[in-house]
Amino acid sequence: MSGAALRCRATDSIHGGFLTRKTRTDILPVALAAGVNFILFGVKLYSGLVTASLCIYTDAVNNLFDALSCLLAAGGLALSGKAKNGAYPDGYGRAEDLAGFLMAVSVVFTGAYFAYRALERFMYPRPVNFQLFHAVLLAATVLVKLAMGIVFRRLSKGGDSVILKTVCADSFSDCGVTVMTLLSFLLAEYAGLRADSIFGLVISGVIIWNAVKLVRLSGGRLLGKNDEARNGAVRELLLSCGFTQAEVKTYATGHALTAAAEVEGGGDEEKARALIKEQTGADLFLSRR
């Protein structure tokens, strides 16, 4: 494909001169998720301060970090949607990957902070002021996070946006965290003063475990980790188009997928390009041995 054709494709993908339609579609739910998390932070902070529950307070701070991470993610998505130019001929897709990585790292530090506070509360226990109203509030926030997880699972299904997958995984993780927080709150009067801190340690462990998995996922994309499953799929499609040999490497930058292949044989290049785009979403760049 000529340089002029590539420039045309890049220009056609820009809607409104700045962001692609796909990018704008992703930014809106992430920005809304930031707003929802800010509201949840306020609700849980109020409950945590009134009841003196470490678990509720910790869960509130978790939502604050989630909100800030979503704002960071929205900025990364916006930057990744900018048009290609001479300085960045491959576009700004890595901005989305970087934002996803920073989101995951922030969750790790959040979990570590929770663990520290839980250990502190274990050493110096304080009574928890149980109130049914705040238990109902916590239960309601579980439903909100569950709905967010379902929405983002649908948005991320079949796509390669590490940000959408991170928000999805974090929403479902938060459901479990808040359920444990609610359980700790309900049992606080009967399980002893240290129940709040013990549950806090369990919650922080769950957060750190999930965050480490997200760091590995987003870090791998940021470093250009090769996707062997996608490589194999592209290779099979090339062979089905008449090529006799194909060495394939695929790269993901934000929403953009690229498949670079060295091929042998007299296959149909245009058919291969169209088929690979349709079935894998990758732009194919061929070189012949």
- The residue out of 189, 205, 222 marking a domain boundary is 222
Between CA 206 and CA 154, with CA 44 as vertex, the angle to 5 degrees is 60
**For position 42, what pLDDT does the model report?**
94
Residues 32 and 109 in one domain: yes
Mean pLDDT for all residues in the chain: 76
Residue 63 and residue 65: Cα distance in Å, rounded? 5
The model's confidence at residue 190, banded by pLDDT at 50, 70 and 90, is low
Residue 262 and residue 267: Cα distance in Å, rounded? 12
Q: Are 31 and 19 in contact (CB under 8 A)?
A: no
Residue 153 and residue 279: Cα distance in Å, rounded? 21
The CATH number for 278's domain is 3.30.300
**For position 85, what pLDDT does the model report?**
64
pLDDT tops 50 at residue 11 = no
**For position 92, what pLDDT does the model report?**
66
The model's confidence at residue 254, banded by pLDDT at 50, 70 and 90, is low
**DSSP letters along 51-95, please?**
HT-HHHHHHHHHHHHHHHHHHHHHHHHHHHTSPP-SS-TT-STHH
Q: Count Cβ atoms below 10 Å from residue 157 Cβ, excluding itself.
A: 10
Token digits of residue 215: 């760091």
Residues 161 and 283 in one domain: no
Residue 32 and residue 39: Cα distance in Å, rounded? 11
The CATH number for 121's domain is 1.20.1510.10
The percentage of the chain sitting over the pLDDT mark of 70, rounded to a whole number, equals 78
pLDDT tops 80 at residue 105 = yes
Mean pLDDT (whole number) for 157-171: 77
Look at 168 and 144; give whichever has higher pLDDT: 144
Instruction: Name 15's bridge partners.
Output: 19
Q: What is the CA radius of gyration of the chain?
A: 23
Residues 174 and 252 in one domain: no
Look at 41 and 226; give whichever has higher pLDDT: 41
Residues 132 and 253 in one domain: no
- The residue out of 198, 222, 246 marking a domain boundary is 222
Type and span of the H or E element at 98: helix 94-123
- The residue out of 206, 222, 238 marking a domain boundary is 222
Look at 234 and 160; give whichever has higher pLDDT: 234
Token digits of residue 32: 């809304």
What is the total count of domains within the chain?
Answer: 2
pLDDT tops 80 at residue 34 = yes
Residues 93 and 51 in one domain: yes
Q: Do β-strands 282-288 and 245-253 pair in parallel, antiparallel, or remain unpaired?
A: unpaired
pLDDT tops 60 at residue 8 = no
Measured torsion, CA atoms of residues 173, 211, 39, 178, in degrees rounded to the nearest 10:
30
Query: Which residues, other chains included, contact 57 with Cβ-Cβ below 8 Å and sequence gap of 6+?
Result: 44, 45, 48, 49, 117
**For position 1, what pLDDT does the model report?**
37
**DSSP letters along 133-154, please?**
HHHHHHHHHHHHHHHHHHHHHH
Type and span of the H or E element at 285: strand 282-288
**For position 142, what pLDDT does the model report?**
93
Domain containing 22 equals: 3-222
